[in-house]
Amino acid sequence: MCPVQLTDQILVSYTATLDSGEAVESVPENKPIALAIGSGRILQAVEASLLGMEPGESKTVRILPEDAFGRYYKSLVHEVPLANFGNKVQPKPGMILSLSVEKDGQEQQVPATVLGINNDTVTIDYNHPLADKAITYTVKLHAIGN
């Protein structure tokens, strides 16, 4: 049997954990997902680790923050007037909102986490919730197909 190559369709299961041991994502062995290598459906570094594997093989790979969800940037934490939310949303700490921002002249929806509320301002964090965290993937290749 040929090992996994770029653009192969595969069936894979995995568990992604933080250094603390907390699981952040899991695809159980009895319900593997189908994906194409190079599709971007999972982290590129995880896809790369699958290259050369054969069905039935398992592998554990630690993905550093810069290859996972990026570094944490304090510049992505903003104070926003509470009045901007109007009566649509009552922000609460820990809530993840979908907010509009302009990037390269285009309006885009991005997730943002509410960190806190003070009188008339809301502290919003535009960093990914897993920013600055290394993630360890334990992956099992179930099959290679077309």
pLDDT 10s digits, 71-127: 999 999 999 998 888 888 888 999 998 877 777 888 888 889 999 999 899 999 999
Q: What is the DSSP string of 16-69?
A: EEETTS-EEEEE-TTSPEEEETTS-SS-HHHHHHHTT--TT-EEEEEEPGGGTT
Read off the pLDDT of residues 42-62 as tens digits, 9 standing for 90 and up: 898 999 999 999 999 999 999
104's torsion region: left (phi>0), alpha (psi -120 to 50) or beta?
left
Question: For residues 34 and 8, what is the distance between their CA atoms, to the nearest angstrom?
Answer: 10
Name the pTM for this structure: 0.79
Q: The tokens 């009895």 sit on which residue?
A: 30
pLDDT band at 1; cut points 50, 70, 90: low
Paired with 125 in beta bridges are: 77, 113
pLDDT tens digits, residue range 66-84?
999 999 999 999 999 988 8
- The amino acid that residue 129 corresponds to is P
Token pair 């909102």: residue: 97
**Domains defined for the chain, CATH in brackets:** 9-69+131-145 (3.10.50.40), 74-125 (2.40.10.330)
| pLDDT tens figures, 5-30 | 888 899 999 999 999 999 999 999 99
